[in-house]
Amino acid sequence: MLRMLDHVVRVAPDLSRAIDDHRGRGFTVTPGGEHTDGQTHNALISFADGSYLELVAFRDSERSRDHRWWKHAAGGGLADFALLSDDLTADLIALGELALGPPTEGGRTRPDGVRLRWRTARLTPPLPFLIEDLSARELRVPAGTAARHANGATGIARLVVGARDPAEAERGFATLRGRGAPDVELQSAAADGVVDLKLAGLARIVVRPPQG
């Protein structure tokens, strides 16, 4: 079954600058490390509701031009989102033709050397991708003080997804909801993908001077 909104992906042209920018706005940002494909590295903004915002940047432009998030590499932007599965094989069987293919294994090495493993599966756009942890999720998703923010943010309250064919997209999302997925807001758009998100508890923006 699908347990929750796992995370939303925001591509950044430069990861260090993105980290500094979000910290300057009152977010607690945890460096995530290097993905096993060698193309990307990331940082995480975890929330008390268990979800997180992933800041990701490309390492290798020559190898990454065919990546589905590459169109955001230069200007940055919201690129994707993931739902957490506790049984990816069963979910893909239930979703049938909405799946674009079998699961693929991925992972990341954290800055402290801990290696993480997971499986993901892509669905037809603008549906999200699914992720199932092979290592413990608590190793992948920071909690405790890492999920507390000076600006008051506590979670992802609203996710807006653009769809070239909203009616067809709604049928796909209805199927996902039948497996336990949360609601998203759909709107007509020229391209499929995440359009906007709203954070819960964001009571104030804390502006801090840049470090260094």
The pLDDT profile of the chain, 212 residues, written as one tens digit per residue, is 999 999 999 999 999 999 999 999 999 999 999 999 999 999 999 999 999 999 999 997 778 888 999 999 999 999 999 999 999 999 999 999 999 999 999 999 999 999 999 999 999 999 999 999 999 999 999 999 999 999 999 999 999 999 999 999 999 999 999 999 999 999 999 999 999 999 999 875 554 544 44
| Rounded distance between C-alpha atoms, residue 7 and residue 139, angstroms | 15
- Architecture of the 2-61+70-151 domain: Roll (3.10)
Paired strand residues for 44: 30, 54
Annotated domain spans of the chain: 2-61+70-151
Model pTM score:
0.94
Q: Distances in Å between the alpha carbon of 197 and those of 7, 9, 80?
A: 11, 11, 11
Hey, which bits of the chain come out as E strands?
A: 2-11, 30-35, 40-46, 52-58, 77-85, 104-109, 115-122, 129-133, 155-163, 185-188, 193-200
Report pLDDT for 128.
Answer: 98
Report pLDDT for 204.
Answer: 56
What does DSSP assign to residue 123?
Answer: B
Report pLDDT for 67.
Answer: 93
